[in-house]
Chain A
Amino acid sequence: MRTGFKLHRAHYGWIEVFITIILVLFALTVIVPMCLPLLFVFKTQLEYSYDPWSLPKHITVKNFLEAWDAIKIGEGLANTLLVSLGVVVLAVPCAALAGYVFARYHSKVTEVLFYAILVCYFIPIQMVLIPLYKFNIKLGLSNTLLGLILPMAAFNIPFWVLIYRSFFHTLPKDLGDAACIDGAGHATTFFKIMLPLASPATTLALLLIFIAAWSDYFLSLIMLNDQKLFTMQLRVSQFLNAYGVDRMPRYAAAAIISMSPTVILYIIGHKWVIKGTLAGALKE
Chain B
Amino acid sequence: MKKFTLVCLALVLVPLMAFAQGQSDTAAKESGPVTLTIWGRDIPDTAADHIYVHDLIEGFQKANPDIKLEYIPLGDPGLADKTKITMAAGVDQLPEIVQSWGGSVMGGYADAGRLLDLTSELASIPGSKAASDAMSWKGKTYGVAPFFAVAGIFLNEDIFARNGLKAPTTIVEMEAVCDTLLAKGIQPFACGAKDKWPALAMYMYLVNRYGGNAFDRAQARTLSFADDAFVNAAKTYQMWVKKGYFGTKPLGEAYGDAQQQMAIGKAAMMVTGSWMCSQFSNKEFTDQKIGFYAFPVVTGGVGKVTDVMGMTDIGFFATKNAEAKKDAVVRFFKYAMSVEACASEPGRICAVPGVPAKAELTGMASKVFAASQSVQFWWDQDLPPAVTSPLNDTIQSFFLPNSDVASSLKAFEELVIDEMGPVKK
Contacts and interface: CB of A to CB of B under 8 A. Distances in A.
Interface string B26-63: 10000000000100011101010010000000000000
Given A133-B86, A221-B81, A241-B78, A141 B22 contact: yes
B255 A241 contact: no
B124 interface: no
Contacts of A70: 43, 45
Query: In terms of DSSP, what is the predominant structure of the interface of chain A?
Result: helix
A240 B75 contact: yes
A219 to B, nearest CB: 11
A240 B43 CA distance: 10
A274 B89 CA distance: 45
Interface string B1-42: 101100110010011001101110110000000000100011
A5 to B, nearest CB: 38
A215 interface: no
Given A237-B75, A244-B256, A222 B70 contact: no
A162 B120 CA distance: 60
A20 interface: no
A: interface residue count bin: 35 or more
A174 B232 CA distance: 77
A126 to B, nearest CB: 9
A46 B42 contact: no
B82 interface: yes
Interface string A181-199: 0000111001100000000
B93 A49 contact: no
Nearest to B2: A187
Nearest to A144: B22
Given A50-B264, A140-B23, A221 B93 contact: no
For A139, A191, A225, which residue has the most chain B Cβ atoms within 10 angstroms? A225
B93 A143 contact: yes
A227 B72 contact: yes
Contacts of A237: 75, 78
Interface in A159-190: 185-187, 190
Interface string A91-130: 0011001000000000000000000000000000000011
A222 B284 contact: no
A44 interface: yes
A70 B25 CA distance: 29
B187 to A, nearest CB: 14
Nearest to A136: B89
B41 A137 contact: no
A221 B72 CA distance: 11
Contacts of A83: none
Contacts of B256: 244-246, 248
A242 interface: yes
A243 to B, nearest CB: 8
Contact of B43 (A90, A149, A238, A246): A238
A206 interface: no
Contacts of B21: 144, 146
B287 interface: yes
B93 A225 contact: yes
B85 A49 contact: no
Given A137-B92, A246-B255, A238 B11 contact: no
B328 interface: no
A239 interface: yes
Contacts of A97: 8
B93 A45 contact: no
Interface in A202-241: 218, 221-222, 225, 227, 237-241
A187 B75 contact: no
B192 to A, nearest CB: 10
Given A221-B82, A241-B76, A242-B41, 16 more contacts: A46-B263, A46-B284, A46-B285, A46-B286, A129-B85, A133-B85, A134-B89, A137-B92, A140-B19, A143-B25, A146-B18, A218-B81, A225-B72, A225-B95, A241-B78, A246-B279
Query: What are the 5 tightest A-B residue pairs by CB atom distance, in nearest-first order?
Result: A241-B75, A187-B4, A140-B23, A246-B256, A144-B22
9 contacts: A94-B11, A134-B90, A140-B22, A141-B22, A144-B21, A185-B1, A191-B4, A225-B37, A246-B256
Interface of A: 44-46, 49-50, 70, 90, 93-94, 97, 129-130, 133-134, 137, 139-144, 146-147, 149-150, 185-187, 190-191, 218, 221-222, 225, 227, 237-246, 248
